[in-house]
A = this chain, B = another copy of it.
Amino acid sequence: MDSMQLVQVTRGSIIESAHRGHIAVVDSKGELLFYAGNPEKIVFARSSMKPIQAIPVVETGAADRFKLDDADLSLCCASHSGEVMHTGRVHSILGRAGLEASHLQCGTHIPHWPDSYIQLMKEGKEVTPLYNNCSGKHTGMLVTAKHLHESVEDYYELSHPVQQRILSAVSEMTNYPAEKIEIGIDGCGVPVHGLPLKNIAFAYARMANPHLLSDDRKLSVRRITKSLIAAPEMVGGTERFCTDFMKAGNGRFFGKAGAEGVYCIGDLETGIGIAIKIEDGNGRAVYPAAVETLKQLNLLSSQQLEELKGYCQPKLVNARKESVGELIPDFQLIPVH
């Protein structure tokens, strides 16, 4: 099945650009309820997999050993903006495990939060791996290795026990054989997992409603989703969709973006999992697609819709701060039954 148009980009009176993609809506028994495009599309979930990658942090006992609270665990699932609240907390978690920022193997990029970068430049400082949006995830990996007396130098290698535990958790949660999962290298150097979009949605559905999972797994995924919802500012940051979406969700939803146009949502109330992939990888289209999907599924209150309006149909603003166009969701989910 081909991709489907999901979002239009208007300028003046015409559609200037358009984004196509795929959506899968799955329940906690693994049944596909709705879709757009190809729900079987093999997709790298990228950072949308972080809440599942955090499962071993809890299940190995590392989270308890190093006293990870909700905000700490939420940060382990984050693509954070590199604000002081993020970098300070990464530093703190590492310290509790006897590790340092120099153990982070995630590399560096300019932090999302402009003020952090301006501050570094003003002080003539270098950007460090602490500012990498994945530094929380890497910290979760590091403290797990430390807790189990594994090597902390090569924790990012697929063959390392840290990545093997994650591969098992991804396989179990997505109900997809580990040997069939496609492996690539993520923006921060760790393995990424490629599998059908509907299986990624299934993992989110099981995170939302883990009733068919083992008792241990129930506890760990509930602890993770509770953390995300309790400390949404850790997952993204100021003016970031993940953060604002979970705040608007008011305890009902957890959601996580992934690079190359991925978004995943779990609904604790219905146990529904949603996975979205924008075909062209452009993140600007994924938030309108995500909010529109929730809207079509009747999962948002009118107040939540109002709070998320700026993400559902964002205005395009030019360098003169004029509104010159907008992104408009333009699709209809297809019911399976």
Contacts and interface: CB of A to CB of B under 8 A. Distances in A.
Nearest to A321: B107
Given A14-B182, A194-B12, A319 B280 contact: no
Given A280-B280, A282-B282, A194 B14 contact: yes
Place the interface of chain A in its size category.
Answer: 35 or more
Contacts of A314: none
Protomer copies: 2
A241 to B, nearest CB: 19
Contacts of A9: 260, 281
A118 B322 CA distance: 27
Interface in A119-161: 121-122, 124, 132, 134
A80 interface: no
Interface in A10-28: 11-14, 16-20
A260 B17 contact: yes
A63 interface: no
A240 interface: no
A85 interface: no
Nearest to A188: B319
Contacts of A186: 318, 324
Nearest to A323: B185
A260 to B, nearest CB: 5
Interface in A244-299: 260-261, 278-282, 285
A11 B319 contact: no
A3 to B, nearest CB: 8
A27 B318 CA distance: 34
A337 interface: no
B319 A187 contact: yes
Contact of A122 (B107, B122, B184, B318): B122
Nearest to A318: B187
Interface of A: 9, 11-14, 16-20, 42-44, 105-109, 117-118, 121-122, 124, 132, 134, 182-189, 192, 194, 260-261, 278-282, 285, 318-322, 324-325
Given A11-B185, A17-B260, A134-B319, 19 more contacts: A11-B260, A12-B44, A12-B182, A12-B185, A13-B182, A14-B194, A16-B281, A17-B278, A19-B280, A20-B20, A121-B121, A121-B122, A185-B324, A186-B318, A188-B320, A189-B318, A189-B322, A279-B280, A281-B282
9 contacts: A11-B260, A12-B182, A16-B44, A17-B261, A18-B280, A185-B318, A185-B324, A187-B324, A189-B322
Closest 9 CB pairs of A and B: A12-B184, A107-B319, A17-B281, A107-B320, A121-B121, A280-B280, A11-B184, A189-B320, A185-B324
